[in-house]
């Protein structure tokens, strides 16, 4: 488990002190993936450099399995840094070395004996699905394969935390999927804690367990992916699964945003609203995706023939959290109700 406590980082510049990280708290349990997202200039790279101990934090702690690595220096830092493996956007492989030699580098630097090193490299290449490419050179590989070699190298010293700093940026969709599937299996099979620093919301949605939104050097939002997506007030949630700004379609009474709160929602819930509750349902937009913990989704529907409160209660019983689209729409429902009353 990795605990980051009140991490601060500032730089002294000619213009004075620049506070870049202003008290970051983050816990990443073993076997889970936490994504750190945020706009350009939010402090993501600085946080990444502090976590990988390339830069010393100005204050605060980085605890790996309870041990504070932020206070170490020299030999001790070198030894403890092994607990953290890092992969970057550019896999940074040495072009004149084969794939196997690249993966072996951290082991060689540590003075691991030859046959042990060979066995470990073979095991690592097997793990990342590149056993047949051991004697190839980085230039002969696709971007996704190079990135997987980078992951094998990062795993060489058996880290507890894998830090992925924009590792899928610039990869084509197929390579991105390969890298994400690999990270997914590392989380499960090796019980690694993984921190994913990225600006790609698709990546976050597919793989993260928790999401921290960094803004101006602070964590603006932090929570379970499913919880953020289900929370209509969450800015991060709406970036993860954006919805169209829409109005109630003609012939329908109101619209609901419906988020998958339970992991095992019946996929036929829309038709069940009709068959079991006599509602008319219009599908207006949304996204439903497979996630390793079950389906993740947020869908926008228009409804008629059912009261809003009843629809919300029925959906809650099926593991779905429904929220009226906005106050404006709520008041338009109220308006209509008033008009109906007047007409009666």
Which positions touch ligand ADP (CB under 6 A)?
Answer: 11, 13, 18, 20, 38, 40-46
Residue 6's CB is within 10 A of a number of other CB atoms, namely 13
Closer to ligand ADP by Cβ: residue 176 or 213: 213
Instruction: Sheet containing 16-28: give its strands across.
Output: 16-28, 2-13, 59-64, 67-68
Closer to ligand ADP by Cβ: residue 26 or 279: 26
CA distance 67 to 135: 38
Question: Which residue in this structure is represented by tokens 């696709």?
Answer: 142
* CB of residue 261 to ligand ADP, shortest distance in Å: 31
CA distance 237 to 228: 5
Closer to ligand ADP by Cβ: residue 104 or 204: 204
* CB of residue 15 to ligand ADP, shortest distance in Å: 9
* CB of residue 90 to ligand ADP, shortest distance in Å: 15
**Short-list 22, 23, 30, 24, CA closest to 2:** 30
* CB of residue 215 to ligand ADP, shortest distance in Å: 9
* CB of residue 89 to ligand ADP, shortest distance in Å: 11
* Residue 5, H or E segment: strand 2-13
Q: What does the chain come to in residues?
A: 344
Token digits of residue 252: 């329908």
* CB of residue 48 to ligand ADP, shortest distance in Å: 8
Closer to ligand ADP by Cβ: residue 82 or 239: 239
* CB of residue 41 to ligand ADP, shortest distance in Å: 4
Token digits of residue 247: 């109005």
Mapping DSSP onto H, E and C, the string for 241-296 reads CCCCCCCCCCCCCEEEEEEECCCCCCCCHHHHHHHHHCCEEEEEEEEEECCCCCCE
- SS3 of residue 89 by DSSP: coil
Instruction: Give 245: exposed, middle or buried? Use CB within 10 Å, 0-12, 13-18, 19+.
Output: exposed
Closer to ligand ADP by Cβ: residue 39 or 267: 39
Closer to ligand ADP by Cβ: residue 11 or 174: 11
Closer to ligand ADP by Cβ: residue 29 or 90: 90
């Amino acid at each position: 488990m990795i605990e980051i406590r009140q991490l601060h980082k500032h730089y002294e510049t000619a213009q004075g002190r620049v506070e870049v990280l202003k008290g970051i708290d983050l816990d990443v349990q073993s076997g889970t993936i936490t994504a750190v997202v945020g706009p350009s200039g939010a402090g993501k790279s600085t946080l990444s450099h502090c976590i990988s101990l390339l830069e010393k934090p100005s204050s605060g702690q980085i605890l790996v399995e309870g041990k504070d690595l932020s206070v170490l220096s020299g030999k001790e830092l070198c030894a403890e840094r092994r607990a953290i493996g890092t992969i970057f956007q550019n896999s940074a492989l040495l072009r004149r070395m084969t794939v196997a030699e690249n993966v072996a580098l951290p082991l060689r630097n540590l003075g691991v004996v030859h046959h042990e090193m060979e066995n470990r490299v073979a095991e690592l290449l097997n793990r990342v699905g590149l056993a047949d490419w051991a004697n190839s050179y980085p230039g002969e590989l696709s971007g996704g394969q190079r990135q997987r070699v980078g992951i094998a190298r990062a795993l060489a010293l058996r880290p507890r935390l894998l830090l992925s700093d924009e590792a899928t940026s610039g990869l084509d969709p197929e390579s991105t999927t390969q890298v994400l599937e690999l990270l997914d299996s590392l989380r499960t099979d090796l019980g690694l804690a993984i921190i994913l620093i990225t600006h790609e919301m698709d990546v976050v949605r597919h793989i993260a367990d928790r999401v921290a939104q960094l803004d101006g050097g602070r964590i603006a939002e932090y929570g379970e992916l499913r919880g953020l997506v289900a929370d209509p007030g969450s800015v991060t949630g709406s970036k993860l699964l954006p919805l169209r700004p829409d109005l109630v379609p003609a012939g329908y009474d109101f619209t609901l945003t419906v988020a998958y709160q339970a992991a095992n929602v019946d996929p036929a819930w829309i038709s069940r609203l009709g068959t079991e509750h006599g509602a008319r349902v219009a599908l207006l937009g949304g996204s439903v995706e497979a996630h390793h913990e079950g389906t993740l989704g947020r869908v926008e529907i228009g409804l008629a023939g059912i009261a809003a409160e009843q629809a919300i209660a029925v959906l809650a019983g099926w593991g779905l959290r429904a929220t009226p689209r906005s106050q404006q729409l709520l008041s338009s429902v109220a308006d209509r109700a008033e008009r109906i009353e007047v007409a009666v």
